[in-house]
Structure 1
C-alpha cells in the first residue's frame, strides 16, 4: 500500500531515474544514427520550453517526460540501418539493465531502491518503445516502425522530395513542394534553401534537392524522428 513515507521513492523514480533512462534511450538512437553517417544530430530531453543546451543535448522544462532524437543526411540509408537506428534506444536500455544486474551479481554495487527502479522502468521503457502502436501526436512507436519496415511497408520511410530550383529566365530561385507545386520564389539561393528546410523538416522523412542547369544535387535529408 502506498504511504506518505513512499513519496521520496516516487520523486526519485520520476525526477531522476526516468530521465536517466530516457537519456540512455536517446543515446542508443544517437549512436546508430552517428554510425550510419547522420549529421546535425540533436537530442531533446523532456518537453515544453527549452531550459538550456549543452552540445547536441537540449533539456526542456519538463525534463522527466518525453524525449526525441533528430538527425539529417544519413550516409547509409537502408532498411537494416533504419531498423538499427529505431531499435537502438531499446537496445541501450537493455544493455543498461544487464549492466546493473551484472554489477549487483558481482557485488560491485548493492541492491537499492535506485537499482530496483532502474531495472523496473528500463523494462517499462523497452516494452512501450517496442510495442507496435501509433502515438496521439501522429508519430509511431519504434516497434511499429520496425515492424512496418520488416513487412516491407516502405511508405513509413518513403521520402517526400522538395526542390530548390533556379529559374534562369526570372533570375530567381523557386521552392517546390513534394507535389511539385510552387511554394515561393526568392532572389537569392540561401533564402530559398532556408524556406525549403523549414518545410521539409515538418514532413519527415524528406529530402531537399538543389536543381540548376538540369543537374540535381541532394543538399539535405530529414529521416523520420526516433523517440
Structure 2
C-alpha cells in the first residue's frame, strides 16, 4: 500500500531514474547514427529552456521529461538505416534492462528500489517508443516511423529536395524548392547555400543539392529527428 514514506521513491524515479533511462535511449539513437556516418550529432535531454550545453549534449530546464537526437549528413541515408537508427533507442534500453537483470541474477548487485524502478521504467520507455502512435504534439513515435518505413509508405521515405542552382543567363544563384519553383536569388553561392540549408533544416527529412555545369551534388541532408 502506498504511504507517505514512499514519496521519496517517486522523486528518485522521476528526477534520477527516468533521466538516466532517457539518456540511455538517446545514446542508442546517437550510436547508430554515428555508425552510419552522421555528422553534427546533438542530443537534447529534457524540454523547456536550455540551461547547460556540453559538447553534443544539451540539458534543458525540465531535464526529466522528453529528449531527442538531431544530426546531419547521414552518409548511409537509406530506408533500412533509418529503421536501425529509430530502433536504436529502444534497443539500448533493452540492453540496459538485460544487463541489470544479469547483474542481479549473478548477485553482483542487489535487488533494490533503483534496480526495480530502472527495469520498470525502461520497459515503459520501450513500450511507448515502439507503440505506433502519434504524440499530442504531432510527432510520430519511433515505432510508427519504423512501421511506415517497413511498409514503404510514400510519406515515410519521401524527402524534400531544395536546389542551389546557377542561372547563367541571369548570372545569379537561385534557391529552388522541391517543385523547382524559385524561392530566392543571390549573387553569391555561399549565401544561396545558407538559405537552402535553413529552409531544409526546418522541413526534415530533406536535402540540399547543388546544380552547376550539368553536375548535381548533394551538399547537405537532414534526416528525421528520433525521439
Give the TM-score taking structure 2 as reference length. 0.95
5+ long unaligned stretches in structure 1? none
Which deviations, in whole Å up to 9, do the C-alpha atoms of 1:67-112 show, x marking residues without a partner?
A: 0111112221222211111110000000000000111111111111
User: In the aligned structure 1, how far is the partner of 2:178 from the partner of 2:29?
Assistant: 27
Please show how residues 126-141 of structure 1 align to structure 2 within 5 Å: 126-141=126-141
Residue aligning to 2:160 = 160
Shift of 1:126: 0.1
Residue aligning to 2:69 = 69
Shift of 1:38: 1.1
Please show how residues 19-30 of structure 1 align to structure 2 within 5 Å: 19-30=19-30
Query: Are residues 1:224 and 2:213 paired?
Result: no
Residue aligning to 1:123 = 123
Cα-Cα RMSD: 1.3
Moved more, 63-72 or 163-172: 163-172
Residue aligning to 1:212 = 212
User: In the aligned structure 2, how far is the partner of 1:155 from the partner of 1:63?
Assistant: 32
User: In the aligned structure 2, how far is the partner of 1:186 from the partner of 1:137?
Assistant: 36
User: In the aligned structure 1, how far is the partner of 2:2 from the partner of 2:165?
Assistant: 63
User: In the aligned structure 2, how far is the partner of 1:174 from the partner of 1:80?
Assistant: 33
5+ long unaligned stretches in structure 2? none
User: In the aligned structure 2, how far is the partner of 1:157 from the partner of 1:129?
Assistant: 20
Residue aligning to 1:195 = 195
Residue aligning to 1:34 = 34
Matched residue SS, 2:50: strand
Shift of 1:115: 0.7
Query: Are residues 1:13 and 2:29 paired?
Result: no
User: In the aligned structure 2, how far is the partner of 1:46 from the partner of 1:96?
Assistant: 20
User: In the aligned structure 2, how far is the partner of 1:21 from the partner of 1:219?
Assistant: 35
Query: Are residues 1:180 and 2:191 paired?
Result: no
Residue aligning to 2:83 = 83
Please show how residues 107-118 of structure 1 align to structure 2 within 5 Å: 107-118=107-118
Which deviations, in whole Å up to 9, do the C-alpha atoms of 1:114-148 show, x marking residues without a partner?
A: 11110000000000000001122222111111111
Check conservation: 1:157, 1:224, Cα contact below 8 A: no
Give the TM-score taking structure 1 as reference length. 0.95
Residue aligning to 1:101 = 101
Deviation beyond 3 Å, 4+ runs, structure 1? none
Moved more, 15-24 or 144-153: 144-153
Check conservation: 1:28, 1:91, Cα contact below 8 A: yes
Moved more, 87-96 or 183-192: 183-192
